[in-house]
Amino acid sequence: MLVDIHNHILPGLDDGPKSIEEAILLATNAVDNGITHIIATPHHNNGKYINSSSIVKEAVNNLNKELSKKDIPVEIFSGQEVYFYNSIVEDLENDLLTLANSGKYLLIELPRNHFPVSTFETLYKILLRGYTPIIVHPERNTVLRKDKQKVYDLVNKGSLVQITASTLLGEHGRNLKKYTIDLIKHNLAHFISSDAHHHVKRPFLLNDAYQYVQKKFTENQVTYFSENAKHVILGTEFQPMLPISFQKNT
Ligand SMILES: [Fe+2]
């Protein structure tokens, strides 16, 4: 069982595949990566796309039907990549989708160019309700990029962090690659996922990323990432490795 928890595989909903044919090609690419379970996470509330839970669920059903017709051995589950906004907490019970609809993990994207002052407070409220926020690709937020200690603070206060396979593999430059490696070294990365959008331009790359982790770190580290992703699909809790601060005295 290999799970990808962040990708844009559903056709026509966002900047992912434009057609069902493109979605099938992307699913085939996932299978080539050994992936068996895909949590589809279309953009939601990011200023460009709104994908309510009913829209996502219908698209997931349609794609699963097409995949089983074509005997492509991968199953799609519903989710959203929720762009951060202050009233996330109020929408948790009705409008927002947890990953794999398990009622536990919520995928959250922070703005690119700033770190909202309400971030910690909002995440705290989400945690109080019994949900676990997963912050996606911190390396794309300019504030977190400059200040890794802020990532430590987020994790220390109960959020989890997902890094992107292509970034770890160096596709977005050496600096960002090093950034994601540093997060792994400080136990501040809990998941690697594809953020796949297109079978050629932004494919899954999960297999390559796991192989890289095995070479650069250990087999145990690969197991940690893949087991954590399994917990997300099951909606079960796990014990994250203790985060290591970037400040020497803490
Ligand atoms: Fe994404």
Q: For 195-205, what is each residue's pLDDT tens digit?
A: 999 999 999 99
Q: Using the mean position of ligand 1's atoms as its centre, give its distance from the Cα of residue 4 in Å.
A: 12
Q: What is the pLDDT of residue 7?
A: 98
How much is the pLDDT for 68? 98
The CA 137 to ligand 1 mean position distance, Å, reads 8
Mean pLDDT value across residues 141-170: 98
Q: Which CATH architecture has domain 3-234?
A: Alpha-Beta Barrel (3.20)
What spacing in Å lies between the alpha carbon of 42 and ligand 1's midpoint?
A: 7
Intra-chain end-to-end CA distance of the chain, in Å: 38
Q: For residue 6, report the distance from its CA to the centre of ligand 1, in Å.
A: 6
**pLDDT band at 93, cuts 50/70/90?**
confident
pLDDT at 1: 94
Centre of ligand 1 from the C-alpha of residue 47, in Å: 14
Contact 9, 30 (CB under 8 A): yes
Percent over 70 (pLDDT), the chain: 99
**How far does residue 78's CA lie from ligand 1's centre (Å)?**
14
Max distance between CA atoms of the chain, in angstroms, equals 58
The reported pLDDT for the residue numbered 94 is 81
What does the alpha-carbon distance between residue 191 and residue 176 come to, in Å, rounded to a whole number? 16
Cα of 56 from ligand 1 centre, angstroms: 14
Identify the residue whose tokens are 């792994």. Answer: 184
Spatial separation of the C-alpha atoms in residues 37 and 15, rounded to whole Å: 21
Question: Does an H or E element contain 108, and which?
Answer: strand 105-109
- Summarize the confidence of residues 44-70 as an average pLDDT: 97
Gap from CA of 218 to ligand 1 centroid (Å): 27
Q: What is the token pair recorded at 212?
A: 């890289």
For residue 125, the CA-to-ligand 1 centroid distance in Å is: 23
Determine the distance separating the centroid of ligand 1 and the alpha carbon of 107, expressed in angstroms.
9
Residue 194 CA to ligand 1 centre (angstroms): 8
pLDDT band at 117 (very low <50, low <70, confident <90, very high): very high
pLDDT of residue 99: 98
Q: How far apart are the CA of 122 and the centre of ligand 1, in A?
A: 21
Sequence spans of domains, the chain: 3-234
Q: Is the pLDDT of residue 250 over 60?
A: no
Lowest-confidence region among 200-204, 212-216, 246-250? 246-250
- Residue-level pLDDT at 249: 65
